[in-house]
Structure 1
Amino acid sequence: MSNSKIVANQADHFFGDVCENFDHAAQFTKHDAGLLDQIKSCNSVYRFRFPIRKGNGFEVIDAWRVEHSHHQSPTKGGIRYSEMVNEDEVMALAALMTYKCAIVNVPFGGAKGGIKINPKNYTVGELENITRRYTVELIKKNFIGPSIDVPAPDYGSGEREMSWIADTYATMNPGQLDALGAVTGKPIALHGIAGRREATGRGVAIAIRECVSVAEDMQKLGLTTGISGKRVIVQGLGNVGYHSAKFLSEFGAIIVGLCEYEGAIYNEAGLDIEAVFLHRKETGSILGYPGAKKEFRNSLEGLEQPCDILVPAALENQITGENVKNIKAKIIAEGANGPTTPGAETMFYQNGGIIIPDMYANAGGVTVSYFEWLKNLSHVAFGRMNRRFEENSNLNLVNMVEGITGIALSPLQRSSIIKGASELELVNSGLEDTMIRSYHEIRETFKGNPKIETQRIAAFVGAINKIAVSYQNLGVWP
């Protein structure tokens, strides 16, 4: 069987893998079987097709929007632009969004969208037509709205596509005050939020930093405590992978390997992430980068090189039962959705490793999307109301302390103390607090029950319990 068929078969079972993990975690809860079935099932699956003009002819586009759970409103989830997307994948990703939001205490239900295209095969005008028509189809079926279902970027889409969605929704809903809250991940100029673009990668880096800060766990892995000096391999130089590598490097880690679809590069002494990114932009490939000591035409070989931490931040099913035995990392932090198959995860834990699960590790995006949604509903930027007040209060305090002590601070010291928080600083603070608190919630569940084998199952247990409480509070279940 060819590699493409194997990947396709694995993708067709993605939702089944999610449900398998759910069922395994459910045994560690005490909820009614009917309630568990309600939590697990996808509530609404909308599959549709629409024609677009392409060249001198027409093309029919397949698309989906899945709303997995309505225990919280609105539902929330990205739109994936990929020729590999299918209904099973969108259902799985919508389910993971439900659990992800619960894990990081974001009050959304889970949803996901998919458009079956390769964006590289279309002009900007054609992509705009596809995106706007997709949005119209969602509007017609009431599958989008600031209190209904709020899309966001995903693989193959970004700020540009979100701006088209926002404009289409606002045009179709004249006079709706909160129309821009119908989609997140928008450009700053269209009432997006500072820090959203890098949020997922920053969240991955914070999750890793928090994991390696626990001395007890690092001792069992034979690693030192703290992120400084940890060797990291990152798969994927897209938005998530690039920013994960960037922030990990800033935290003190050493990026020793980078993998992309065209191949992989490695240098035990470390790679300059910015230089590699620029090299790829200029040449179209990470291969040939002069700072690499080794390079591999098969990108999966790059995952198997010596390191402490592996960050798969590309697509699902990258670490399988076939290659997990060659993985040398002690920690896998899942930047992508579903990069590790269930069988591979079992083997990795049996060998003493730790996997930071995707539905927690990459939750930075939805966390900051939540902040953007709040900004759009409140119609005011974070920090606008109180920044100057804080600065004046701090200035008065500094002047008083200098007057009492007779010690004059330098201009740099004064400015660092007086400065009020910007929107970006507030967003990053909220994201950091969310990721730190959520990691220790998962770890406490994991350590609190010796029968729970992995952090993923612990995360599922916590998510199930929170969602069950939401249904009970709604009066749906006693």
Structure 2
Amino acid sequence: MSAQQPYSFFHSVEQSFDKAAKFTKWDPGILEQIKACNAVYQIRFPIKRDDGSIEVIEAYRVQHSQHKSPCKGGIRFSDEVNQDEVMALASLMTYKCAIVNVPFGGAKGGLKINPRSYSTYELEKITRRYTSELVKKNFIGPGIDVPAPDYGTGEREMAWIVDTYQSLKPGEIDSAGCVTGKPVSLGGVRGRKEATGLGVFYGIREVCNMHEVMHGMGLPVGVEGKTIVVQGLGNVGYHTAKFFREHGSKVIALAEYEGAIYSADGLNEEEVFQHRKKTGSILNFPGATNLAKNTDALELECDILIPAALENVINAENAPRIKAKIIGEAANGPCTPEADEIFTKKRILCVPDMYLNAGGVTVSYFEWLKNLSHVRYGRLEKRFTENLNTHILAQIEGLTGKQVSDQERAFIKHGPDEVDLVYSGLEETMSAATREIMDIWHSNPEIPDMRTAAYVSAINKVATIYAELGIFP
């Protein structure tokens, strides 16, 4: 990519795809079909602002692949949204779902607005109008295309979407499954909010528990004691920092768009979050040092760097200055292909976004299944499990003549709640995907990095479906 050409996120994804395709056996035609975006819906609609003025909103929904239905992917509100970005994110969703064995095609949505510039009432009007436009063109539905939260959106926006959909599709029994990331009271699933950050933690922890990988990098096994830098204190960055800290890691720096802070003694993400809520900035946090620029945090000496904000933050220009030993891509596309080449030379392990931040879509899958089954997880088996465990424990205590502590008793007797089952399913998904990617990487010494191995995994799974369907003889 020459210096004159603007950065294209979609081209960057295609570059990574092509790099991996060389390590697969599939016909070039199948590979071209997998790469292509199946449908791009570009929307313009007017809304009336609170001051009476009319504004035209630019919006998109891209369905990258329908090799499995429904399509799945978040909706972001950002003034940086453009068609190239939404196409790239939709394609990443296809590969992400394939890697973690979630049966969805990839999709993504975006509205070119800065949500901070609009009132709650204006945002509701925009979200509801966007939803009605998707319904008109059959770009949303529990068996067609299922959106979710992304950058700039959350439970509130998903509640507006499901309510609008249900008003336009009366009597559709599975209508709650038209969108995920909803409030629990509207059919959401417990554990969804922290899912992406928890998935990032599970994925990195699995890598850190691999003796040969850690030995090769000169690091001890496990996450305990490792130093962490997190860029972004939104939902994903906050929960990633929280789970690492709770499992014995030390979060030495946090960065946000207004700046970055550093403390060798470690930072508590909740305390920093409350400080930011109170002052409007993470800067000047008691006991921490302000860094000159927010991007300075990326270049600190640390064991694990977690970019959890936007794409293209680590590129050919700053990658040579990265000192982290492991990079965990919690955001979508934070490292460019040029940065990957530099990491390979520097022997920095980059754990790729396309599966590492799949916690959100994995738990969205659990929510979708919950909506289709119309029963919450754990409702049928929780009390049965507790009664059975109580009986087994009583028998063992009677036979041995010994009593367990009250704390152990409570743990053994406990039947799974919904959030326990969601966490368990997410842990299994992330651990299995990590091992699968590592096996592909280590089985072919010519594969240069973990991202390429992840793409190989995704390509093989999607292409196998096309081949088995007989679409390509």
TM range (shorter): over 0.9
Distance 1:51 1:317 in 2: 31
SS at match of 1:451: coil
Q: Secondary structure at the match of 2:341?
A: helix
Please, which moves more after superposition, 410-419 or 433-442? 410-419
Aligned length: 470
Q: C-alpha distance in 2, partners of 1:406/1:228? A: 37
Query: Of 39, 42, 48, which aligns to 1:44?
Result: 39
Q: How does 1:160-239 map to 2 (within 5 A)?
A: 160-239=156-235
The whole-number CA distance in structure 2 between the counterparts of 1:20 and 1:468 is 18
Deviation at 1:162, TM superposition (A): 0.2
Cross-structure match for 1:152: 148
1:277 aligns with 2:273: yes
Contact 1:14–1:89 (Cα < 8 Å) also in 2: yes
1:100 paired residue number: 96
Aligned-partner Cα distance in 2 for 1:407–1:92: 60
Counterparts of 1:274 and 1:85 in 2: how far apart (Å)? 29
Output the amino acid matched with 1:347: I
On the 8 A contact 1:332/1:355 being kept in 2, the answer is yes
Cα gap change, 1:329 to 1:7, in 2 (>3 Å): farther
Aligned twin of 2:360: 365
Aligned to 2:242: 246
Letter in 1 for 2:170: P
Alpha-carbon distance, 1:412 to partner = 2.8
Q: Which residue, 63, 68, 78 being the options, matches 1:67?
A: 63
Tell me what 1:23 maps to: 18
Equivalent of 2:6 in 9, 14, 17: 9
Q: Which of residues 337, 341, 358 is equivalent to 1:342?
A: 337
- Residue 384 of structure 1 pairs with residue 376 of structure 2: no
Worse-matched range after superposition: 173-182 or 407-416 = 407-416
Number of the residue aligned with 1:130: 126
User: How much does 1:8 deviate?
Assistant: 10
Aligned to 1:317: 312
Shift of 1:475: 2.3
1:477 to partner: Cα distance: 2.1
> 3-state SS of the aligned residue for 1:394?
helix
Q: Deviations over 1:182-205 (max 9, x none)?
A: 000000111100000000000011
* Local SS of the residue matching 1:303: helix
Out of 390, 393, 400, the residue aligned to residue 388 of structure 2 is 393
Q: Distance in 2 between matches of 1:7 and 1:283?
A: 40
5 Å matches for 1:82-93?
Answer: 82-93=78-89
The offset of 1:67, in angstroms, is 0.2
Confirm or deny: 8 A CA contact 1:7 1:317 kept in the other structure: no
Aligned twin of 2:445: 450
| Deviation at residue 7 of structure 1 after TM alignment | 13
Distance 2:78 2:174 in 1: 30
Q: CA deviation at 1:413?
A: 2.5
Q: TM-score, normalised by structure 1?
A: 0.97
In structure 1, what is the equivalent of residue 407 of structure 2?
A: 412
Query: In the alignment, which residue of structure 2 is the partner of 1:3?
Result: none
Structure 2 counterpart of 1:261, from 254, 257, 271: 257
Using the TM superposition, give the Cα deviation of residue 125 of structure 1 relative to its aligned residue in structure 2, in angstroms.
0.4
Structure 1 range deviating more: 84-93 or 317-326: 317-326
Amino acid of the residue matched to residue 134 of structure 1?
A: Y
Determine helix, strand or coil for the equivalent of 2:333: coil
User: Given residue 145 of structure 1, which amino acid in structure 2 is its aligned partner?
Assistant: G
1:446 and 1:454 in contact (8 A); partners too: yes
User: Aligned AA for 2:6?
Assistant: N
Counterparts of 1:154 and 1:418, CA distance in 2: 38
Amino acid corresponding to residue 206 of structure 2 in structure 1: E
- 1:459 is the counterpart of 2:462: no
Structure 2 SS opposite 1:29? coil
Q: Describe the SS at the equivalent of 1:359.
A: helix
1:354 to 342, 349, 353: 349
Tell me what 2:418 maps to.
423
Q: Which runs of 5+ in 1 are unaligned?
A: 1-5
Shift of 1:465: 0.3
Q: Which whole-Å CA distance do the structure 2 matches of 1:7 and 1:404 have between them?
A: 78
After the TM superposition, which of the residue ranges 406-415 and 209-218 deviates more from structure 2? 406-415
Q: Which residue of 1 aligns with 2:299?
A: 304
- Secondary structure of 2:113's counterpart equals coil
CA distance in 1, matches of 2:326, 2:78: 29
Over aligned residues, Cα RMSD in angstroms?
Answer: 1.2
The worse-fitting range, judged by mean Cα deviation, of 412-421 and 159-168 is 412-421
- How far residue 451 of structure 1 moved from its aligned partner, in angstroms, is 1.0
Distance 1:219 1:399 in 2: 45
Give the whole-Å Cα distance in 1 for the aligned partners of 2:224 and 2:4.
36
Residue 359 (structure 1) shift: 0.6
Q: Identity percentage over the alignment?
A: 58
For 2:299, what is the secondary structure of its paired residue? coil
> In the TM superposition, what is the alpha-carbon distance from 1:232 to its structure 2 partner?
0.4
Tell me the distance in 2 between the aligned counterparts of 1:218 and 1:404: 44
Deviation per residue, 1:152-204 (Å, 9 max, x gap): 00000000000000000011100000000000000011110000000000001
- Contact 1:262–1:297, Cα closer than 8 Å, also in 2: no
Q: Calculate the TM-score normalised by the size of structure 2.
A: 0.98
Q: Which moved more, 1:147-156 or 1:410-419?
A: 410-419
SS of residue in 1 equivalent to 2:252: strand
Question: 2: CA distance between counterparts of 1:365 and 1:339?
Answer: 17
Structure-2 separation of matches of 1:392 and 1:430: 23
In the TM superposition, residue 271 of structure 1 has moved relative to its aligned partner by 1.1
* Distance (Å, rounded) in 1 between the aligned partners of 2:379 and 2:468: 35
Secondary structure of 1:9's aligned partner: coil
One-letter code aligned to 1:406: G
Structure 2: tracts of 5 or more residues without a match: none
